[in-house]
Structures are given as C-alpha cells and as structure tokens.
Copies of this chain bind each other. A is one copy, B any other.
Amino acid sequence: VTELARDRRSRTTDGAWRERARRVIPTGMYGHLGVNALPPEYPQFYGRAEGAHVWDVDGNEYVDVMCSFGPNILGYGHPTVEQAAADQRARGDTQPGPAPCMVELAELLVERVAHADWAMFAKNGTDATSLCLSIARATTGRSAVLAARGAYHGWAAWSNLRVDGTTSEERANVFPYRFNDLASVERAIDDAGRDDVAAVVVSPFRHDAGHDQEMTDPAFARGVRECCDRYGAALVIDEVRAGFRLHHGGSWEPLGVDPDLSAWSKAIGNGYAIAAALGNERFVRGAERIFATGSFWYQAVPMAAAVATIRALRDDAAIDAMVRAGTLLRDGLARQASAHGVAINQTGPVQMPNVSFDGDVAFAKAMTFCGAAMEHGAILHPRHNWFLCAAHTDADIEAVLAATDAGFRAVRSSFETP
C-alpha cells in the first residue's frame, strides 16, 4: 500500500515539485513542515487555503486539523484580519520606523495578558523564547536556566532538542527538570546553584511532540512560582504553541499563577509573521539593557493583523468555537475507537488534541491512521498535537470523522491479529 501510494505521489504535480525541491533544498524540505518522515499520502506543497480548508498543488481538498502547526486560529484568510492587513499595507509595511499599530498592539497585549506591563516584538517563536531568556539573564545577572527535559522552546542552541550544529558550551547553563514534578525543579535549582538561576522556563501544559500530553497540576504551577520567588529567578511561560488557544490572556491565569516573562508567536497574527516577549516591571530593566533587533521586527502589516486577530478572538468567542469543535472531534474519535475495538489515548486540551495508540511502537499505527485520514481529506499528525481553529464547523468535524473512520479501518486491517 505504501509503495503504491509513494508511486502514485511521484506522478502528481506535488511529486514533480518535490523532485525539483530535492535538487535545491537540503533533504527536499527541512523543518516541521517537511513530510519526508510522514506517510506518502502527505503532499509537500500547497496551493490554496481558506477558512479551515486547504488544497494541495494537485487540487485535493482537506479539512486542516494542523492549522499550519498553530498559526491559523481564526481561519485562513479571515476577513477582519485581512482587511486590517490590507489597510495597513496600503500605507506601509517595512518603513524607517514602526507604525502606530505597534503601540496599539503592545497596549492590547498588556491589557489582555495579566502579568504583562510591556511588550517587545520579533518574528519567530525562537526569537521570543530567546528574548525572554536574555532579558532574564540581563535582569538577574545570572546564567543558569531550567527547562523541562524534552520540551521544545525553539531551535536556538540552548533549547534545540538535537545537538548537531550546537556546542556543548551553548548548552552548558541549561538544567533539566520533569514537567509536573516540583521536586525535580528543586533538585535542578540545587544543581544549578540556588543563587545562579536566571529563569525557569515552562510550557503552559506538557505538549512535547511524540508524547501523550499532560495538563498542568495547579500545585506544580504554584510551586514553580514559589521557587522562582524564593530564589529570585524569572518564571518564563513559553506560550508560543498554546497562547490564546486556552484563554484570552496568559494560559496560567485560570490557575492564578502569573509568570514574569512570556513568549508568544504562532496564533497571535493568524498566520502573519510576528512574535512577542511580554514582561512585568521587574524585568523591564533587562529588556532595556539587551541589544536585540531584526530587519523586519517593526513591520507594520503583521502588527495590524495581530491587533485585529487578538480583538476578533474574544469578540467572536473563538475559544468557545474551538472547544465546541474539539469536543465533537474527541467524542467522535472515542466512539469510533470503541466501535473498531482500537485502544487510543486522547490527551491535552480539546483545542490542541493529541491522539496516540496503545502499544504503538515507533508510531506505526499512528502513521497508518494519519495516512488513511489524509487520503480521505483530513490533515492530522502522527507524532504532534493537532490544532483546532475557530473556522472548524460541525460539518468540517463530520468530514474529519469520516476520514478518521477510514483511519481506524486501516489500523484494524494492518494491525489486527487474525
């Protein structure tokens, strides 16, 4: 089946573009959107996107449950966002200085995110997490940072999960702990030296790729906050992946825990390239002292788009819409799994669901499942959480469930003991 699919793929428009890509792009496609390690049903190149739907370069339509790994939160081409972007674009984008919408965006984030007194903007999630780390170091005069083992905070050397291309020195000051395990945080602080911890970096919940997700134990969140207060370290929340999908503010606000610094990107501009580091008064000193900039960090169009996105998220009750669609999907998957007699684990918030299969060594079942779902018109991922957006309708979820039903059938036929 896989050979057939691969052969079929090679004779498509997508296959032709992949052949050209292999000649001028390392591995044909690098990074998280490269499909070399995914089933052959996954196309590499896309031709069009609208709402929760995308079309590959061969014209095949899909309901997209990856949302470009997060950026699409209101729906591709959301009219309010596009109008705001077009209005700003008619005036200017990259200019000799920022446009007023930069101030409006900073004001809006400071208003929405409880811990934030100020904002800085950049382009990548990695920019935002690295800005937080630099600001924590500059404010505290310390070097060490705690990060959960296996958590992804960007491709910078201090947080890259692969060591190739990094030096041991660049990773020297990073001390690991286990998410939801407060004792491991305390041990890591002791390892780092109680007076040398600049920052403890946490994810809003455990959303490591290739693992079942883990919601945050409120006692863990409070305990990490207390540790940071006790030892003078910055509590940094990496909101890049989850930000504004759980709460119209910081993700730990419902737990009553405020970080000192937070890193944002992906969804805040509904697909426009923007990232933000937010912080409280104590850490503004470091923010004022570091040197950080980028050629396009002051681009006006993504900022205008972000203002429109963040306003629309709350005005349109986008989180409610994602929860509704995500709940329909979770319930439907549970029914299908039970009907097919396939044991699955559904973890994480319904807006960012993770699905794994019992005893699924090397993700073989997940690959089969997602390959079949792809063939039937739904974009999922075998090793990474999925993303709902506010444009997912009940009919979209029905279409996804028709595709996942094909996925379960494929798993049964490939893995069932006769």
* Chain A residues engaging chain B, CB cutoff 8 angstroms: 17, 20-21, 23-27, 29-33, 35, 43-50, 54, 56-57, 62, 64, 66-72, 76-77, 91-100, 102-103, 106-107, 110, 117-120, 122-127, 130, 133-135, 137-138, 143, 155-158, 160-162, 164-167, 169-170, 172-173, 240, 265-266, 271-273, 284, 286-299, 302, 379
Smallest CB-CB separation from A124: which chain B residue? Answer: B294
A95-B46 contact given A33-B298, A124-B295, CB 8 Å threshold: yes
Give CA–CA (A110, B26) in the complex, Å: 13
Q: Is the CB of B96 within 8 A of A68?
A: yes
Please name all residues of chain B whose beta carbon is closer than 8 Å to the beta carbon of A117 when the two chains form the complex.
24
Question: Which listed residue (B107, B124, B240) contacts A20, Cβ 8 A?
Answer: B107
Contact A103 B25 (CB under 8 A): yes
Please give the distance in Å from A392's CB to the nearest CB on chain B.
14
Contact A292 B64 (CB under 8 A): no
Q: Are B92 and A161 in contact (CB under 8 A)?
A: no
| 8 pairs of A and B residues whose beta carbons are closest in the complex | A31-B293, A134-B165, A273-B296, A94-B271, A49-B92, A165-B290, A26-B287, A138-B165
**Residues in B neighbouring A298, C-beta threshold 8 A:** 31, 33
A47: chain B residues within 8 A (beta carbon): 91-92, 99-100
Contact B43 A97 (CB under 8 A): yes
- Name the distance in Å between A76's Cβ and chain B's nearest Cβ: 7
Q: Can you name the residue of chain B whose Cβ is closest to the Cβ of A108?
A: B24
Q: Which residues of B contact A120 (CB under 8 A)?
A: 25-26, 30
Chain B residue numbers with a CB within 8 Å of A45 are: 97-100, 102-103
Is B25 within 8 A of A71, CB to CB?
no
Return A80 CB to nearest CB of chain B, in Å.
16
Rounded to whole angstroms, the CA-CA distance of A157 and B172 in the bound complex is 14
Query: A97 touches which one: B44, B170, B297 (CB < 8 A)?
Result: B44
